[in-house]
Structure 1
Amino acid sequence: MLRDGHIHTPYCPHGSNDSLKQYIERAIELGFSELTFTEHAPLPENFIDPAPARDSSMQKADLEQYIQEVEKVKKQYASSLTINTGLEVDFIAGFEKETTEFLNEYGSFLDDTILSVHFLPVKGQFVCIDFSEEEFGRIIKEAGSIEFVYKLYYDTVLQSIEADLGPFKPSRIGHITLVRKFQHMFPCTEPFEEHIDRMLRAVKQAGYSLDYNGAGFVKPLCRETYPPARIAHAAHSLGIPLVYGSDAHASAGIGQGLDQIDRNLIERSV
């Protein structure tokens, strides 16, 4: 029984206008029995979106409508598959209080959530690491080296795992190797094995799961899942649950990267 735990919606400014029903119908067609809509949660009000297009998240004004719409299709398709109401919440260093307050306000309305890192503080200013290869190149130049960017990303993911964000903190950590999205244009020779091992052991200790994300494989400058197979196997060997996520931003993206996923590792729908 297949589960897709990471799906976006028309509420995403950098996604498509495909309806929730289009995502659901595609999931049914591919044989999924469970899915979670995980739209990018609104960013803290006092945080300025560093993505050049300022399009990283849904608007706070749309949040209640989003929840209501997912709840509606959840009931409409109850006989066909399980649908979860969720969000992909950003961990932003220094904004833990605001994130906790947001989760305390809306957490009880959610079935499933992901905690992800997209933003890093580089020389006093936040940057968005996955916006484009051009922007990533600029970030490397600003930071001084690609090794600095990778280390900062992994350190921030570890910080997100260990952070106290209250009782509604997401228990699944998103795409832990997202920093490798442009690796074929900007290769990094340092494997950061100790950093990855610390992240995995922190996930295990916290009792969390990992987003086993297929989107990286279809990115032409990445061509591997987040995390890649060797890290996924290391996580599995520690007993960490892995939840497949397409990270689809259009209905056609449902199931992307699934052929690269070791299905023996992933959590199945119950």
Structure 2
Amino acid sequence: MKDGHIHTPYCPHGTDDTFDEYVKKSIDVGLDEISFTEHFPLPKGFKDPAPDDDSAIKISQMDDYIKEVNKIKNKYKDKIKINVGAEVDYIDGFEDEIKILLDKYGRYLEDSILSVHMIKIEDEYYCMDFSSGEFEKIINRLGSVEAVYDLYYETLIKAVNADLGQYKPKRIGHLNLVRKYNKKFPYDYSKNAKLRELVELIAQKGYELDYNVAGLFKEDCGEVYINGYLSELVKQYNIKLVLGSDSHSAKYIDSYEINI
């Protein structure tokens, strides 16, 4: 079994767990392949909207990150397959700058994810998964929870269609991250036409989806990010799923079942 979405001590909003701790836990729970997918540096000219300015590693850290993953990969090569990867943020309006970064580092990345954490409202960017308080600010700015879902799915459609060059990731991360605070801000998304359009597009492109279980451990979520109506769509369009623990600590790594 593979876990295709694991973070590292390089994550500025993660833990200090070592690479060895992540790998040993992966082996202990029976995984035979893992991908370290640290948050790719944000594009030049983009200011991190997260209040703690902690969304991604700095570009100055990328060489060391790649070297360390390759070192740990070699250390455990006889016990588990380890991939060097990244979680790349799609940011509306910064496609060219993201492509420049991928052109520079993409050749060293073996398994990566394309995610949306930031959304653009007019000329401002918001980090939609930082906190429930920040999420509420987005609701107030757009006028309704439904409008937040619509904009999130529209941004993902742009991400899937974006020309980010030959190293663009072909797996989309936590497709329903917008539901991280669904217990506080409930919304029935089962009739959302933009989500169906998004899933159809992913199927047409032949992309994979991150079966991200991190929502199970979020107080205001309590569900896998591919769940309910989205699970039905994934089955309908026969989209390949890859388990992603999205672990920011070794304790969250386990041999989760993909259940849709």
Residue 123 of structure 2 corresponds to: 124
Q: Does 1:94 align with 2:93?
A: yes
Q: Which residue of 2 aligns with 1:51?
A: 50
TM-score (ref. length: structure 1): 0.93
* Residue 5 (structure 1) aligns with: 4
Q: CA deviation at 1:229?
A: 4.5
Q: Shift in Å at residue 117 of structure 1? A: 0.2
Distance 2:253 2:241 in 1: 17
> Map of 1:204-243 to 2, 5 A cutoff?
204-243=203-242
Could you tell me how far 1:192 is from its partner in structure 2? 4.4
Q: CA deviation at 1:237?
A: 3.5
CA RMSD of aligned residues (A): 1.4
Name 2:70's counterpart in structure 1. Answer: 71
In structure 2, the partner of 1:61 is 60
Match of 1:139 in 2: 138
Amino acid at match of 1:133: S
Indicate the percent of aligned positions where both proteins have the same amino acid. 44
One-letter identity of the residue aligned with 2:46: F
2:139 aligned with 1:109: no
> Equivalent residue for 1:268?
none
Aligned counterparts of 2:164 and 2:92: Cα–Cα separation in 1: 12
Question: Which ranges of structure 2 fall in alignment gaps of 5 or more residues?
Answer: none
CA–CA distance in structure 2, aligned partners of residues 214 and 152 of structure 1: 23
Cross-structure match for 1:151: 150
Cα distance in 2, alignment partners of residues 15 and 63 from structure 1: 17
- Distance, in Å, in 2 between the alignment partners of 1:166 and 1:190 is 32
- Shift of residue 197 of structure 1? 1.5
Displacement of 1:230 in angstroms is 4.1
In 2, Cα distance between equivalents of 1:76 and 1:231: 39
3-state SS of 1:202 partner: helix
Rate the CA distance shift 1:31–1:233 in 2: closer, same or farther, 3 A: farther
Which letter maps to 1:62?
Q
Secondary structure of the equivalent of 2:70? helix
| Alpha-carbon distance in structure 2 between the residues aligned to 1:122 and 1:191 | 24
Q: Flag the 1:171–1:152 CA change in 2: closer, same or farther, 3 A.
A: same
CA offsets per residue over residues 199-221 of structure 1, 9 Å max, x none?
A: 11111111110001000111111
Is the CA contact 2:213–2:246 (under 8 Å) kept in the aligned structure 1? yes
Return the offset for 1:255.
2.3
SS of match in other structure, 1:10: coil
Contact 2:190 2:229 in 1 (8 A): no
